[in-house]
């Protein structure tokens, strides 16, 4: 709808790749406790002890204490299994939890069979994820897909999975195409994944494998009833991002929030930990056919949406680079952006259109995620309803793909039944009244909207050049407060103690099997 | 004595609007129930302006009507500001005069709360409502610990920084998390410092009742609409009164 300077766009992508590449190298040369736990979950280890501590945490904790993290857990764990220390992973974890297993690295001549055993176990897990992906494809084809774009995305957040389910089903019946079960606010900083069906959460419901399963089953039922496949979203972020990604793949979740820098900036998680966990979780999402949603909208909740618009574009470009490097395809890149400009600014709506069109034009094949106003929702619900209407209109006009439904009671209460109903009526009215207006919407070349879009892209390129010029690269730029005005030094943040540089012996069969660009059979040769 | 009623378009008409959802399918019973509820809430006469089903088992209602209640404004109690509102330059000058060093403020969102919007609006130089945040004040040293900080961590850092004041914001209120967290905060600081020596504890968030400070064991609560200047002025007042210097608190 607008014409971008192709040379500038090419330069932006080139810079993003240049800035991102050293970070990918870091991710490839380190491992984390959470990646190792994700590996065990892929190999079939689930459940927790009587105190709720997951077996995956017990097993990784024991291996780290005895052998260290740097070699990965696959060799010590399957070495123990090959030595018949236990009959299976569960038993091994239970035994290790009471300190009755000695872990070691296998002798050089025993490495090959140990590797093979680990690889076989993980292959079975990946086959389960593949089966779930095929199941989704069959269901979408058989039941039917969402009738139109944008997909209508609604959040459910009661804290109790058994309350969430009827609310999610009601939202789907009322027109939602995507249901997101928002997580309990504390979860991103938990260094374990809770177990079982949960009924206690703060401003959200814990992400657990059982909660995933229950909600997906309920929405499958509703999908059949409605004749359209209703998608389910959760959050692969925080300290357990790789494990949550695996659980999402195993339980056929359809979309996952998964931003390359969100945890660093907004949760103060160690930068290296985040980038290592990110890469693995994106590899899993790529394989599982999951659409990721990135979190650029968050920058605008702390920074000015006009002055800092280019940080959104910059982050989208970085997210695109990291996502593709990990094997995700364009159709899986739900890059985020938001309607957060102060409505008191003259021409605020035109600026919103310019920013939204920039994203649409720069990433033509990505299912862009369009986020509603939050920052300028003041508690004046009447004004908020109007603002949400304009947000919906901007979404339609600029061809956004996933529209998160704004609530007029944002900043007042967690949405009530009636809030959701009113919000959906707002969306439906705008879609029905203006659905194809995009066809008639042709901003004048060189006019206000086109020039603004160009300028934001230019500023993004300048910012990428500055990051590229930082002696410490992207990590240095994050430390300097480049994004969301948050300063996060590379050595700071939570979870840094769960990161280790890989040793020569490090082996992670999951990564080898998920590596997109190389034939898996030769993967371990190149791992070194 | 001043008695008032809500104002629709005529003084004393008492008109209010009210919306709610009833757990009933939309039918005559639901509409009657809505009117009965409105009457019991003091709306007389009540008019059901709008009712529509929300799914098969709920009805959304909008009621207009005149309330019979009166409010005597003299019986309204508010937490009045008992100190002057100072400009940043005045705040800096007062701190210099009273402390002869910078005032140290440690801020955080505690417990499970990840919403740093409030604390950032007060602390970040960016500020809010056209006012710069406390970082902008030359005589205030700001240590912003960010989101989801454990209370123990906050106590340790406050001690290490020799904080004069600790600012905590709480947005999440589900299951009274904000009240539970605030009590835990007060208890931890009382336990960690000698009696009367702990830093000023200031808590803020959109859903707090400003009158609950004493009950929750903190020095001051700020509710919706608070600006950095409000907080800075209060902090100056607090040091001045703590030191028996009444000049700033006049």
pLDDT per residue as tens digits for the range B128-138:
766 788 888 98
**All structural domains of chain B with their residue ranges:** 3-74, 88-242
* Residue A118 distance to chain B (closest CA, Å): 37
* Residue A420 distance to chain B (closest CA, Å): 10
Pick B147 or A194 by higher pLDDT.
A194
Percent of chain A beyond pLDDT 70? Answer: 96
Q: 3-state DSSP: chain A helix, strand, coil percent, rounded to 5?
A: 55, 10, 35
Query: Is B117's CB within 8 Å of A301's CB?
Result: yes
pLDDT number for residue B77? 82
| A347/A358 Cα distance (integer angstroms) | 17
* Residue B170 distance to chain A (closest CA, Å): 12
Chain B residues in contact with A184 (beta carbon < 8 A): 112
For residue B249, is pLDDT > 50? no
Q: How confident is the model at residue B248 (pLDDT cuts 50, 70, 90)?
A: very low
Average per-residue pLDDT for chain A: 93
* Residue B61 distance to chain A (closest CA, Å): 9
Q: How confident is the model at residue B242 (pLDDT cuts 50, 70, 90)?
A: confident
Which of A306, A410, A418 has the highest number of chain B CBs within 10 A, making it the mutation to test binding with B? Answer: A418
Q: How confident is the model at residue A23 (pLDDT cuts 50, 70, 90)?
A: very high
A301–B contact, CB cutoff 8 A? yes
Give the three-class secondary structure for B57.
Answer: coil
Can you name the CATH fold of B88-242?
Rossmann fold (3.40.50)
* Residue A288 distance to chain B (closest CA, Å): 29
A214–B contact, CB cutoff 8 A? no
Q: Are A336 and A371 in contact (CB under 8 A)?
A: yes
pLDDT number for residue B114? 61
| A370/A353 Cα distance (integer angstroms) | 12
CB-defined contacts A:B, below 8 A: 69
Q: Please give the C-alpha separations between residue A165 and each of A172, A179, A196, A386, B129, in angstroms, as whole numbers.
A: 11, 10, 15, 30, 40
The residues, any chain, with a CB within 8 Å of residue A262's CB and separated by 6 or more, are: A237, A294, A295, A298
Q: Which of A7-21, A332-346, A407-421 comes out lowest in average pLDDT?
A: A407-421
Which residues numbered 170-189 in B keep a CB inside 8 Å of some CB on A? 172, 174-175, 177
Q: How confident is the model at residue B127 (pLDDT cuts 50, 70, 90)?
A: low
pLDDT per residue as tens digits for the range A101-116:
999 999 999 999 999 9
A487–B contact, CB cutoff 8 A? no
Q: Are B137 and B123 in contact (CB under 8 A)?
A: no
B21–A contact, CB cutoff 8 A? yes
Instruction: List the catalytic residues of A.
Output: 262, 297, 369
Size (chain B), residues: 250
A186–B contact, CB cutoff 8 A? yes
Q: How confident is the model at residue B149 (pLDDT cuts 50, 70, 90)?
A: confident
A381–B contact, CB cutoff 8 A? no
Q: Which of A507-521, B10-24, B30-44, B236-250 comes out lowest in average pLDDT?
A: B236-250
The helix (run of H) or strand (run of E) holding residue A223 is: helix A209-226
B3-74 against B88-242: fold identical:
no
Q: Which of A474-488, B40-54, B229-243 comes out lowest in average pLDDT?
A: A474-488
Q: How confident is the model at residue B126 (pLDDT cuts 50, 70, 90)?
A: low
Chain B's closest residue to A187, CA to CA, is B112
Which of B112, B115, B116, B127 has the highest number of chain A CBs within 10 A, making it the mutation to test binding with A? Answer: B112
| Dihedral Cα A395, A403, A226, A425, nearest 10 deg | -70
B3–A contact, CB cutoff 8 A? no
Query: Is A185's CB within 8 Å of B114's CB?
Result: yes
The residues, any chain, with a CB within 8 Å of residue A28's CB and separated by 6 or more, are: A279
pLDDT number for residue B196? 85
Give the three-class secondary structure for B2.
Answer: coil
Residue B202 φ/ψ, nearest 5 degrees: -125, 125
For B3-74, the fitting CATH number among 3.50.50.60, 3.40.630.10, 3.30.30.60, 3.90.550.10 is: 3.30.30.60
Mean pLDDT of B82-108: 92
| A5/B181 Cα distance (integer angstroms) | 52
Do the interacting molecules here have an ipTM over 0.85? no
Query: Is A186's CB within 8 Å of B19's CB?
Result: no
The residues, any chain, with a CB within 8 Å of residue A446's CB and separated by 6 or more, are: none
Chain B residues in contact with A267 (beta carbon < 8 A): 114, 147-148
For residue A485, is pLDDT > 60? yes
**C-alpha neighbours within 13 Å on the C-beta side of residue B120:** 16
Chain B residues in contact with A375 (beta carbon < 8 A): 117
Q: How confident is the model at residue A527 (pLDDT cuts 50, 70, 90)?
A: very low
pLDDT number for residue A520? 42
């Amino acid at each position: 709808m607008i014409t971008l300077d192709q040379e500038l766009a090419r330069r932006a992508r080139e810079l993003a790749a240049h800035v991102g590449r050293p970070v990918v190298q870091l991710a490839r040369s380190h491992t984390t406790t959470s990646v190792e736990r994700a590996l065990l979950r892929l190999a079939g280890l689930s459940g927790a002890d009587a105190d709720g501590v997951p077996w995956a945490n017990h097993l990784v904790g024991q291996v780290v204490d005895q052998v260290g993290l740097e070699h990965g857990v696959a060799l010590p764990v399957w070495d123990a299994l090959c030595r018949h220390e236990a009959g299976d992973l569960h038993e091994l974890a239970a035994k290790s939890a009471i300190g009755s297993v000695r872990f070691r690295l296998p002798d050089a001549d025993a490495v090959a069979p140990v590797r093979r055993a680990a690889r076989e176990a993980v292959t079975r897990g990946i086959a389960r994820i593949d089966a779930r992906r095929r199941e989704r494809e069959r269901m979408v084809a058989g039941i039917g897909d969402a009738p139109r774009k944008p997909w209508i995305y609604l959040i459910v957040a009661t804290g109790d999975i058994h309350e969430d389910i009827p609310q999610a089903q009601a939202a789907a019946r009322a027109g939602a195409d995507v249901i997101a079960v928002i997580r309990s606010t504390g979860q991103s900083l938990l260094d374990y994944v809770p177990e079982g069906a949960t009924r206690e959460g703060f401003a959200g419901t814990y992400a657990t494998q059982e909660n995933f399963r229950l909600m997906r089953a309920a929405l499958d039922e509703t999908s059949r009833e409605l004749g359209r496949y209703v998608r389910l979203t959760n959050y692969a972020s925080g300290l357990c991002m790789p494990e949550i990604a695996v659980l999402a793949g195993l339980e056929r979740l359809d979309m996952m929030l998964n931003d390359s820098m969100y945890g660093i900036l907004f949760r103060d998680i160690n930068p290296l930990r985040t980038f290592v966990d990110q890469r693995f979780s994106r590899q899993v999402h790529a394989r599982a056919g999951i659409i990721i949603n990135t979190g650029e909208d968050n920058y605008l909740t702390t920074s000015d949406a006009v002055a800092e618009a280019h940080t959104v574009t910059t982050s989208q470009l970085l997210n695109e680079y990291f996502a593709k490097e990990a094997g995700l395809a364009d159709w899986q890149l739900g890059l985020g952006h938001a309607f957060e400009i102060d409505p008191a600014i003259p021409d605020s709506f035109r600026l919103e259109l310019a920013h939204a069109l920039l994203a649409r034009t720069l990433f033509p094949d990505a299912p862009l995620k369009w986020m509603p106003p939050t920052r300028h929702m003041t508690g004046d619900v009447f004004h908020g309803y109007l603002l949400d209407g304009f947000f919906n209109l901007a979404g339609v006009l600029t061809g956004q793909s996933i529209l998160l439904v704004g609530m007029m009671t944002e900043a007042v209460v967690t949405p009530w039944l009636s809030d959701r109903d009113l919000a959906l009526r707002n969306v439906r009215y705008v879609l029905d009244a203006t659905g194809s207006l995009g066809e008639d919407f042709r901003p004048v070349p060189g006019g206000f909207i086109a020039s603004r879009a160009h300028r934001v892209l230019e500023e993004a390129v300048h910012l990428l050049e500055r990051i590229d010029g930082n002696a410490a690269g992207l990590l240095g730029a994050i430390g300097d407060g480049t994004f969301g005005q948050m300063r996060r030094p590379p050595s700071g943040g939570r979870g840094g103690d769960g990161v280790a540089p890989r040793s020569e012996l490090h082996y992670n069969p999951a990564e080898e099997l998920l590596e997109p660009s190389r034939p898996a059979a030769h993967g371990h040769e190149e791992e070194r | 004595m001043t008695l008032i009623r809500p104002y629709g378009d005529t003084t004393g008409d008492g008109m209010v609007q009210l919306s709610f959802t009833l757990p009933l399918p939309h039918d005559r019973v639901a509409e009657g129930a809505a009117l009965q509820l409105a009457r019991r809430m003091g709306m007389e006469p009540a008019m059901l302006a709008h009712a529509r089903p929300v799914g098969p088992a709920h009805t959304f209602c909008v009621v207009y009507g005149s309330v019979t209640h009166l409010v005597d404004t003299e019986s309204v109690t508010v937490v009045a500001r008992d100190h002057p509102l100072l400009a940043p330059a005045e705040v800096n000058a007062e701190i210099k005069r009273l402390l002869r060093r910078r005032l140290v403020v440690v801020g955080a969102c505690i417990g499970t709360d990840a919403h740093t919007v409030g604390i950032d609006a007060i602390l970040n130089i960016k500020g809010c409502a056209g006012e710069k945040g406390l970082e902008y004040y030359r005589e205030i040293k700001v240590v912003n610990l960010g989101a989801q900080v454990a209370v123990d961590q906050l106590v340790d850092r406050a001690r290490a920084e020799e904080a004069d004041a600790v600012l905590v914001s709480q947005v999440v209120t589900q299951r009274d998390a904000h009240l539970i967290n605030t009590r835990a905060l007060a208890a931890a600081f009382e336990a960690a410092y000698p009696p009367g020596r702990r830093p000023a504890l200031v808590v803020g968030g959109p859903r707090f009742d400003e009158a609950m400070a004493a009950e929750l064991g903190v020095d001051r609560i700020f509710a919706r609409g608070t600006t950095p200047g409000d907080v800075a002025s209060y902090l100056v007042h607090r040091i001045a009164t703590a030191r028996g210097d009444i000049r700033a608190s006049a």
